[in-house]
Amino acid sequence: MEKVLLRNIDVPDSHTLAVYKSRGGYRALEQVLRGMSPEKLIEEVKASGLRGRGGAGFPTGMKWNFVPKDSPKPKYVICNADESEPGTFKDRLLIEKDPHAVIEGTILAAYAIQSHTAFIYIRGELVFGSKVLQGAIDEAAQAGYLGKNILGSGYDLELILHRGAGAYICGEETGLLSSLEGGRGWPKVKPPFPATHGLFGCPTVVNNVETLATLPWIIDQGAARYAAIGTEKSKGTKLFSVSGHIRKPGVYEVEMGYPFKRFLEEDCGGVPNGRKLKGVIPGGSSMPVLRADELEPVRMDYESMQAAGSFLGSGGVIVMDDSTCMVKAAWNVARFYAHESCGQCTPCREGCHWMEKIFRRIESGEGEKGDLDLVLNISGNITGNTICPFGDAAAWPAAAFIKKYRAEFEAHITQKRCVVI
């Protein structure tokens, strides 16, 4: 398979402008600024079938189209680099190894909606990545790819790097906007959507790092070539961060529709140390877990994952072998979401902490009859009843762990100890 996103990763000094340009970098931008209208650029991206890689999978070109063309207000583009989903580290790799692809993609998105100010909102803990990215922004500006009259086209763009403070909730686009405005990272009620009422109440597009880094290849190679990769509804390639009980962890670029079980066993080397696969979280900690016996028909695309009862999410694949205590795993996930809940919505604020307390009680041998149904009831009351998807992100895995491994949870309660050997 031809690499789209990881094509430059293993090249020495891939983070520098000189190396990026030697491998075709900024060729797409030059092509666009020489004679492609914003409308034509949007149509090209729509024709490619590219969908957002941050988790929701919304069509990228369609998202851009929602921005009003006749608005008198400034328009903004924001690259969401606040990668905080446990089990996900693909954006970090792109930022550190191929920052100019992210920058070029951001410029293309800004040109498409005729924005003249763009931001890259990066997770505060990514200190090294921030330094690499700022260095690349400075290089691009000095070479004439940012600033006034880019490449003599008459188009201006200022690109600003903004470091967050480590809050998971700021990965949600409206929470990110609140933070970027200088306020608390609280998500906002939608509608209105950021496309019409975003940063400072102005039309705004928020795209993920991986989404933006894909754009230069699409424009350079053509939408048709990208659309020929993958499945009918899930086009192109996607990055997957693989961790846990697996022989070859790391970041993989996979064609959409690739068999999931084959990917784990052949590409990633399978489960080590003679253990057996017990379960996999396919899209980051907020996605429902899949049992080993459910993987055979599953393919790595949006539709197949959903049909299996989970989601592609951010592509964070967490592998668990048969030595894993699923009660402890569920508690670990619940503890994270209880800590990260912003507290704005009552179902999430109260429910996340109650689920964590109940899982902790079960794991410590103090579980009671009715605890499992209580967690399922709480998760049901959270789902769909919060301003942003954070509540669902906490509720889905909690319910899935119980439903998929209920016998293990019940044994924990009745025997007052872990039953995993």
- In single-letter form, the type of residue at position 118 comes to A
CA distances 61 to 24, 103, 119, 171, 290, Å, are 23, 18, 19, 21, 32
The strand pair at 237-244 and 117-122 is best described as unpaired
CA distances 5 to 2, 40, 158, 236, 418, Å, are 9, 23, 25, 10, 42
Give φ, ψ of 82 to 5 degrees.
-85, 60
Q: What is the mean pLDDT of residues 184-195?
A: 94
Residue 379: what pLDDT?
Answer: 97
Which of the four pLDDT bands, split at 50, 70 and 90, describes residue 224?
Answer: very high
What would the pLDDT profile of 83-136 be if each residue is shown by its tens digit? Answer: 999 999 999 999 999 999 999 999 999 999 999 999 999 999 999 999 999 999
- What is the rounded average pLDDT for all residues in the chain? 96
- Residue 421, pLDDT > 80, answer no
> How far is Cα 214 from Cα 220, in angstroms, rounded to an integer?
10
> How far is Cα 333 from Cα 113, in angstroms, rounded to an integer?
38
- Residue 57, pLDDT > 90, answer no
What would the pLDDT profile of 277-319 be if each residue is shown by its tens digit? Answer: 999 999 999 999 999 999 999 999 999 999 999 999 999 999 9
Return the domain boundaries, the chain: 17-227, 237-321, 326-415
Residue 317: what pLDDT?
Answer: 98
Q: What is the mean pLDDT of residues 379-393?
A: 95
CB 259 within 8 A of CB 233: no
Which of the four pLDDT bands, split at 50, 70 and 90, describes residue 420?
Answer: confident
- In single-letter form, the type of residue at position 272 comes to P
> How far is Cα 3 from Cα 236, in angstroms, rounded to an integer?
10
- Residue 172, pLDDT > 90, answer yes
CB 234 within 8 A of CB 307: no
The strand pair at 158-163 and 290-291 is best described as unpaired
Q: What is the mean pLDDT of residues 230-246?
A: 96
Residue 141: what pLDDT?
Answer: 98
Sign of CA dihedral 127, 318, 404, 360: negative
Residue 356: what pLDDT?
Answer: 97
Which of the four pLDDT bands, split at 50, 70 and 90, describes residue 358?
Answer: very high
* CATH value of 17-227 in 3.40.50.11540, 3.40.50.80, 3.10.580.10, 3.30.390.50: 3.40.50.11540
Q: What is the mean pLDDT of residues 244-259?
A: 98
CA geometry: angle 239, 61, 190, nearest 5 deg: 90
How does 137-155 read in b/e, with b if 16+ C-beta sit within 10 Å? bebbbeeebbeeebeeeeb
- Residue 231, pLDDT > 90, answer yes
Q: Which CATH architecture is the domain 237-321 placed in?
A: Roll (3.10)
> How far is Cα 17 from Cα 250, in angstroms, rounded to an integer?
25
Q: Fold identical between 17-227 and 326-415?
A: no
pTM: 0.95
Cis upstream peptide for 191 (omega within 30°): yes
Which of the four pLDDT bands, split at 50, 70 and 90, describes residue 2?
Answer: confident
Q: What is the mean pLDDT of residues 224-236?
A: 95
Domain spanning 326-415: CATH 3.90.1170.50: no
Sign of CA dihedral 126, 131, 132, 138: positive
Residue 56: what pLDDT?
Answer: 78
Which of the four pLDDT bands, split at 50, 70 and 90, describes residue 320?
Answer: very high
Q: Which long-range contacts (CB under 8 A, 24 or more apart) does 18-21 make?
A: 20/98, 20/100, 20/101
